[in-house]
Amino acid sequence: MLMPNRTKYRKVQKKVKFKAATRGATLSFGEYGLKALESGWITSRQIEAARIAMTRHVKRGGKVWIRMFPDKPITIKPAETRMGKGKGSVDHWVCVVHAGRIMFEMEGVNPELAREAFAIAAQKLPIKCKFVSRHGGEE
């Protein structure tokens, strides 16, 4: 699972303000990409599941870039606990993804195989996504 080695603060506030992505909205490394159409939180487990699904579908051919990293800790208090007594302990890590962000990139495979691999990966993610290409643009 992806998680930071160390952070400045153990726990952060929620800050649920979603907007359109300005950074990371264009293809930088590969020929094909998976672009987020809506904003949301993506957990480290979901990122890993999508990565495994993509690499297995292309039979470990080509190269895959993960353009997001889960650096936001989500805390949970134990069940049946009374209010108060501070914030809960860190349960898992999420990545805040804004609409328009390129989440994954791939190169070294043909476009049809990349489109199928990204379709399988998109099923593992909780937000709507679309396939983008450097040559054909957005589709």
CATH of the domain at 101: 3.90.1170.10
- The answer to the question of residue 70 being in a domain is yes
pLDDT average, residue stretch 16-30: 91
- The pLDDT value given to residue 138: 64
Whole-angstrom distance, CA of residue 30 vs CA of residue 99? 20
Supply 88's token pair.
């809960």
- pTM comes to 0.92
Task: Identify the three-state secondary structure at position 133.
Answer: strand
- Specify if 108 maps to a domain: yes
Instruction: Supply the mean pLDDT for the chain.
Output: 94
In-domain check, residue 100: yes
The answer to whether position 124 is within a domain reads yes
Banded model confidence at residue 18, pLDDT cuts 50, 70, 90: confident
Domain of residue 116: give its range: 44-78+86-138
CA-closest candidate to residue 100, choices 53, 39, 41, 49: 39
Q: Rounded to whole angstroms, how far apart are CA atoms 71 and 98? A: 15
Please say if the pLDDT value at position 19 is more than 80: yes
Q: What is the mean pLDDT of residues 87-113?
A: 96
How many whole angstroms separate alpha carbon 71 and alpha carbon 78? 22
34, part of any domain: no
Structural domain contains residue 114: yes
Structural domain includes residue 33: no
> Which DSSP symbol is given to 23?
T
Looking at the 3D structure of the chain, how many domains does it have?
A: 1
Indicate whether 4 belongs to any domain. Answer: no
